[in-house]
Chains A and B, each alone.
Chain A
Amino acid sequence: MRRRLLLAAYGVALLGLASFLVVRASNTGQEAFDRATATLSSASWFESAMEAATLRLRSYLNDSFDDITALQVAERALLADLDALGPGYAPLAGALHEEARLIDDFKAQHAVFRNSFYAFQRLVGDLRASEALRNDARGRESVGQLERAVLSYAFLGTTEDRAIVERLITRLREDAGFAPIAATDDWGFVVAHVRRVLDGRPLIVALDEERAALDIKRKVGDQLAGAQAVYSATVARARYHLYALFALALMLVVVAIWEIAQVRHYVAVVEEHGRGLEARVAERTADLATANDRLRQDAVERERMQEDLLQARKLESVGQLAAGVAHEINTPIQFIGDNIRFLDVAFKDLSTCLTDIRAGVHRSTPLSGLEVDELLQRADTAFIADEAPRAIAQSLDGVDRVREIVLAMKAFAHPSDNVEPADLNTAIKNAITMTRSEWKFVATAVLELDEALPRVPCALGSINQVLVNMIVNAAHAIGDVVKKAGATDTPALGQITIRTRAVAGYAEIDIEDTGSGMSDAIQARIFDPFFTTKVVGRGTGQGLAIAHRIIVGRHSGNIRVRSAVGTGTCFTIRLPLVREETVAGAA
């Protein structure tokens, strides 16, 4: 009992290790990398947009801060995304925060500069139209020069223009003819606005240069290179775990073979020993009582070893099944992953498109239908509308498939070994699911199950083992045929047919294959322990012997075989529907 518990714990630990490795091997860091690249490309886009917006403002193409403010607000989501990517992205996030502050400064300084630039133009225009200057030709000329110099400075920012402006202001103040005008408040305003233009331009240029010096595009590039390095490292690690998984599977098979060889050896020794005893019984009847006693002990020993053999066989199938099931789960997981990555990209495009449209709606001139169409087209909405439902449907199929496998595994992993009424049809479906990787390349599986089959009292754990054995045998038999044919032409898939039915107090299960079939001589020996026709390493010769023990010995049923070379084999298992009391509970 303790030994059995230990074995179970061993099995659970192995399954745990195998699933850990499967999970680690499938984590290639793809998702994190995709997230990082999407965020970084969006950062790069924002930087370009900011550059363009400041350029538009600096080149007088735009007076409104609505566009640049909408960018600032939208960029907060980007900063949150960067935050979520982890502390590794702090340099870029810091630069973007600094840029946001510089843009705030830029807007404030730009507003002041623009206001003074316009105010100057208006005030000077009014001045030239005023009565006061009507008769002052020299004054008019000076004011005209001042206006031209200020305009030129606003655009080119040369020190020459600046010097001209300063000189003109001084000269006008000192000009006796201009004195009455120079004393007015309005002239004071003109001078004040000229000062704001002179001071504002270098300030704006400096702020924009400070922003450019943040070199955000290069920082994005650096972070991208970093993300790529992390991604490659993660992929390498996943590969390493995959190798470990293979190694584990290999190790399990080796251990199983070794265990079986050991048991085989013990059995041989015990049989030898038994023969020696028989000889002694003949020779010394006086020791009969002792000899009998020993014989009985040996029988007990043998039984125990056979029990061990059964466990070793179970262990072997656990290893085989773990590898197969891992593979079965991996395929749907992969295409689910692909679909979700596609949906991720599609959703980001859609949400960018929505942001653009929203920003467009709040613009001073709202988006036209044509522009909205163009935004929608740019986001590939027609393609997304076509493809997204398909991706979702396919993913849901995949999820159903994984769920089916996991449910089968669950049913398989925790069967009670007590005899109790069980649904054989479900057991067969689970066994077919669990062994899929064994037969799917050589055969199709056809289930013709009698839905009215009553529940059969049996030890489901053992019956599962028999079913898996039989299905794997069938797959191997078909595989031999398919492989031979494969040398000449494309191999046609064989077929495994499983039928259930109730007949006069029994449940019957047919397991039929279109494999190589067996000669009469082989048929006569198939239930002998250690008899096998398979190559070394593929079978132990225990499968059918154990099946026989389980069906005939434990369940008082029987196994029949019908086979012809070149046609295939059909095993029929018969289990009584009513359990004899004497055998019940012998677990």
Chain B
Amino acid sequence: MFTFSSSRDLTGVLMIVALAGCTRADDSALADRIPSTARVEHVEATLEGLSAVTRLQSIDDPRVALGKELFADARLSRDNTVSCRSCHVINRGGADGLVTAVGIEGQVGPINTPTVLNSGLNFAQFWDGRAATLEEQVPGPIHNPVEMGTDLTDVVAKLGADTKFARRFGAVYPTGVSGANVVDAIATYERALVALDSPFDRYLGGDTSAISAQAERGYRAFLALGCVSCHQGPNVGGNMYQRFGIMGDYFADRGHPTDADLGRFRVTGRERDKYVFKVPSLRNVANTPPYFHDGSAATLEDAVNVMIKYQLGRSVNDDERHDIVAFLKSLEGRVEDSLL
């Protein structure tokens, strides 16, 4: 029996020995042909792939304060019971903690609520990427019959009838309460919702004591196991689409298929987009259980297990899993109190 080892030094030395030991002419030619950047030891040595987050939007912009107010305004739903904040609880990781979302009249939605935190850093919005920008995303839940179940024109009528609110609105938008302005204010607030200054960001900035030795081991495992193949960039995800179930058939194993499982296929209608989802950001992930579009993983440990099995085709022991979870917890940033 042999076990997985993440010691890159040992692997690297063995690799060099192996290549040096080759005597056949085509083997040495092969060694010349392969660029060093393609060797796994180079990849591990450079530790590339993740970078720090920065603010996208000044929080002093008056649109942010107005957007925050709208975000919490239940008049954005048909029966005035559900606001954006009902599902996106900022100090609970920007999500709702439920398996799938709950809308007006207690209707249960088909999919897990993605976090609103750092959403401005994603290259597309929603699990299936059907909105390119936050401005395109905002009207989605408002019009969805099982979420807020109303219409922007009705929302504008309700808000416009509130003279005091309309005055405050007019101070920020001279053209007054309109669908476009409501959308702009909410999207601007959402862009401001970037959680900053996580221990991991401080670690990347040079403060090696910002994260524990265990989290640091987890970071190296995160790179070595290949999680970073998809969860990459400043948002640790959110810059590409990927199929769920590369190294195994996740959906067959889970059973009871749903429409939402089809993912991006429902947007593009292309066969190759079946079971393809936007790779979610892992920032602040510790606060947003349960996990995946179906909310099937109750804990981070469960989620890591599923990812390693179905996406990476690897195995890890308990220690390595705990390390990775410790690393993921170090990705929790802070949202300014004024935005809560």
Contact = CB atoms under 8 A, between A and B. Distances in A.
B226 A65 contact: no
Contacts of B22: 144, 148
A362 B54 contact: yes
Interface string A54-94: 00000111011110010011001000000000000000000
Interface stretch (A151-159, A241-249, A388-396): A151-159
Interface stretch (B102-110, B141-149, B177-185, B230-238): B230-238
Interface in B1-46: 1-5, 10-11, 14-15, 18, 21-22, 27, 30, 33-35, 37-40, 43
B256 interface: no
Nearest to A66: B233
Given A104-B240, A126-B2, A147-B18, A60 B35 contact: yes
A186 B4 contact: yes
B48 interface: yes
- Which interface residue of B11, B123, B240, B315 has the most chain A CB atoms within 10 A? B240
A73 B241 contact: no
A24 interface: no
A125 B14 contact: yes
A251 interface: no
A61 B48 CA distance: 12
Residue among A76, A118, A152 having the largest count of chain B Cβ atoms under 10 Å: A118
A126 B4 contact: yes
A148 B132 contact: no
Interface in B182-240: 224-226, 228-230, 232-234, 239-240
A60 B240 CA distance: 18
A201 to B, nearest CB: 13
A33 B133 CA distance: 30
Given A64-B48, A125-B11, A126-B3, A59 B268 contact: no
B28 to A, nearest CB: 11
A130 interface: yes
B118 to A, nearest CB: 13
Contact of B40 (A69, A121, A148): A121
A128 B246 contact: no
A123 B232 contact: no
A126 B316 CA distance: 14
B30 to A, nearest CB: 5
Contacts of A184: 1-2
Interface stretch (A38-46, A105-113, A291-299, A558-566): A105-113
A93 to B, nearest CB: 14
A101 interface: yes
Interface stretch (A189-197, A317-325, A529-537, A576-584): A189-197
A106 to B, nearest CB: 10
Decide if the interface of chain A is mainly helix, strand, loop or mixed.
helix
A362 B120 CA distance: 13
B120 to A, nearest CB: 11
Given A73-B123, A126-B5, A108 B312 contact: no
A199 to B, nearest CB: 11
Interface in A215-263: none
Contact of B226 (A69, A118, A151): A118
B57 interface: no
B23 to A, nearest CB: 11
Given A118-B226, A151-B34, A127 B268 contact: no
A74 to B, nearest CB: 11
B246 A112 contact: yes
B35 A59 contact: yes
Given A115-B312, A130-B2, A63 B49 contact: yes
A361 interface: yes
A212 interface: no
Nearest to A129: B14
A131 interface: yes
A391 B268 CA distance: 48
A119 interface: yes
A155 to B, nearest CB: 6
A101 B129 CA distance: 12
B276 interface: yes
Contacts of A119: 225-226, 312-314
B49 A116 contact: no
B335 to A, nearest CB: 20
B81 interface: no
A117 B1 CA distance: 22
Contact of B239 (A66, A76, A116): A66
Contact of A115 (B132, B226, B276): B226
B247 interface: yes
B51 interface: yes
A283 interface: no
Contact of B315 (A61, A121, A185): A185
Interface in A357-376: 361-365
A485 interface: no
Interface string A536-569: 0000000000000000000000000000000000
Nearest to A121: B40
Interface string A173-195: 00000000100111001001100
Contacts of B50: 364
A122 interface: yes
Nearest to A363: B51
A123 B243 contact: no
Contacts of A313: none
B22 to A, nearest CB: 7
A211 to B, nearest CB: 14
B243 to A, nearest CB: 6
B109 to A, nearest CB: 25
A181 B224 CA distance: 23
B263 to A, nearest CB: 11
A64 to B, nearest CB: 6
B254 interface: no
Contact of A132 (B1, B34, B247, B315): B1
Contact of A131 (B2, B51, B225, B312): B2
Contacts of B38: 60, 117, 154-155
A436 interface: no
B164 interface: no
Nearest to A151: B34
A152 B239 contact: no
Given A126-B4, A127-B2, A148-B27, A69 B233 contact: yes
Contact of B224 (A105, A122, A363): A122
A121 B39 contact: yes
A515 B232 CA distance: 84
A22 to B, nearest CB: 35
Given A122-B11, A125-B15, A126-B3, 16 more contacts: A63-B229, A64-B48, A119-B225, A119-B226, A119-B313, A122-B40, A123-B314, A125-B40, A128-B18, A131-B2, A144-B22, A186-B3, A196-B247, A361-B54, A362-B234, A364-B51
Interface of A: 59-61, 63-66, 69, 72-73, 76, 101, 104-105, 107-108, 111-112, 114-119, 121-123, 125-133, 144, 147-148, 151-152, 154-156, 181, 184-186, 189, 192-193, 196, 361-365
The 10 A-B residue pairs with the shortest CB-CB distance in the complex, in nearest-first order: A130-B2, A115-B226, A125-B11, A121-B40, A60-B38, A115-B229, A364-B51, A69-B239, A107-B240, A111-B229
20 contacts: A63-B43, A63-B48, A63-B229, A66-B232, A66-B234, A69-B233, A105-B272, A107-B240, A107-B241, A108-B242, A112-B229, A115-B230, A119-B226, A123-B4, A123-B314, A126-B4, A130-B3, A132-B1, A156-B33, A184-B1
Interface of B: 1-5, 10-11, 14-15, 18, 21-22, 27, 30, 33-35, 37-40, 43, 48-51, 54, 123, 132-133, 224-226, 228-230, 232-234, 239-243, 246-247, 268, 270, 272, 276, 312-315
